[in-house]
């Protein structure tokens, strides 16, 4: 059981500013290969950043990276490897000690080696917005294979559903459910991105079963 709580926008701002600086440096680093835009999403975009004051665990951010590769000069593997190399190159300047190729994201973590805990983290998903919907680069660890995949149901229409919940006065419930999920999560491989998606879809289904 954790003791996560929300932090203010002001408290999270220095971490977010550092990440923006890091992302700008990565943009410059990979510019000879391709360019990209980035967007903070999910809990990171709704002032839902958390931390656990008893362990200093938290300040987790989620970012979507949209690569400009209209001619498809680079394979999904090329893109993820190029970006992973770039983040690994700069991460220690910002206190991060691990950069991993996870299934859905490139995961960057600041680990306290003395207490074997994550002090803060950021997950970067490489995405493409097409007429048929959003795709992301998925890493199949078993087959060591990267591919473009369409977002699965938990990640579809998240922002429109979040907007509905805010507009119709259900956001306090969203905040409560998300914090409960954070504090009860015992799966280290389940990131805040997944917990946020679960929260939005769960709350939305309570009021919009017909949609």
Instruction: Give the tens place of pLDDT for each residue, 148-196.
Output: 999 876 676 888 899 999 999 999 999 999 999 999 998 877 888 889 9
User: Which tens digit of pLDDT belongs to each residue from 40-73?
Assistant: 998 888 889 988 888 767 788 999 999 999 889 9
pLDDT given for residue 211 in this prediction: 47
pLDDT given for residue 133 in this prediction: 84
User: Which tens digit of pLDDT belongs to each residue from 104-155?
Assistant: 999 998 877 666 666 778 999 999 988 888 899 999 999 999 999 998 766 7
pLDDT given for residue 132 in this prediction: 83
User: Residues 65, 75: contact at Cβ < 8 Å?
Assistant: no
Contacts of 118 (CB under 8 A, 6+ apart): 57, 109, 110, 111, 112
Region 85-113: what's the mean pLDDT?
91
Structure token pair of residue 11: 């408290």
**Considering only CA atoms, which of 123, 205, 122, 196 is closest in space to residue 155?**
196
**Cα distance between residue 19 and residue 36, in whole Å:** 15
User: Residues 138, 147: contact at Cβ < 8 Å?
Assistant: yes
**Considering only CA atoms, which of 176, 139, 140, 178 is closest in space to residue 158?**
178
**What are the DSSP E strand ranges found in the chain?**
5-6, 35-40, 50-52, 57-58, 60-68, 98-101, 106-112, 117-130, 133-140, 145-150
**Cα distance between residue 191 and residue 174, in whole Å:** 17
**Considering only CA atoms, which of 12, 11, 46 is closest in space to residue 179?**
46
pLDDT given for residue 59 in this prediction: 81
Q: How far apart are the first and last CA of the chain?
A: 34
User: Residues 50, 182: contact at Cβ < 8 Å?
Assistant: yes
């Amino acid at each position: 059981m954790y003791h996560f709580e929300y932090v203010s926008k002001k408290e999270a701002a220095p971490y977010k500013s550092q990440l923006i600086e890091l992302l700008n440096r990565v943009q410059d680093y990979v510019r000879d290969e391709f360019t990209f835009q980035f967007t903070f999403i999910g809990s990171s975009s709704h002032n839902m950043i958390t931390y656990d004051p008893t362990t200093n665990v938290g300040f987790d951010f989620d970012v979507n990276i949209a690569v400009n590769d209209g001619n498809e000069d680079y394979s999904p593997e090329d893109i993820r490897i190029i970006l992973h190399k770039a983040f690994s190159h700069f991460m220690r300047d910002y206190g991060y000690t691990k950069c991993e190729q996870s299934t859905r994201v490139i995961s960057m973590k600041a680990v306290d080696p003395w207490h074997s805990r994550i002090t803060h983290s950021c997950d970067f998903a490489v995405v493409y917005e097409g007429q048929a919907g959003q795709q992301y680069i998925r890493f199949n660890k078993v087959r060591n294979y990267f591919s473009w995949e369409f977002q699965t149901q938990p990640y579809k229409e998240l922002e429109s559903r979040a907007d509905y919940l805010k507009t119709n006065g259900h956001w306090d419930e969203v905040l409560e459910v998300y914090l409960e999920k954070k504090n009860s999560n015992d799966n280290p491989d389940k990131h805040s991105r997944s917990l946020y998606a679960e929260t939005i879809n769960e709350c939305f289904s309570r009021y919009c079963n017909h949609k």
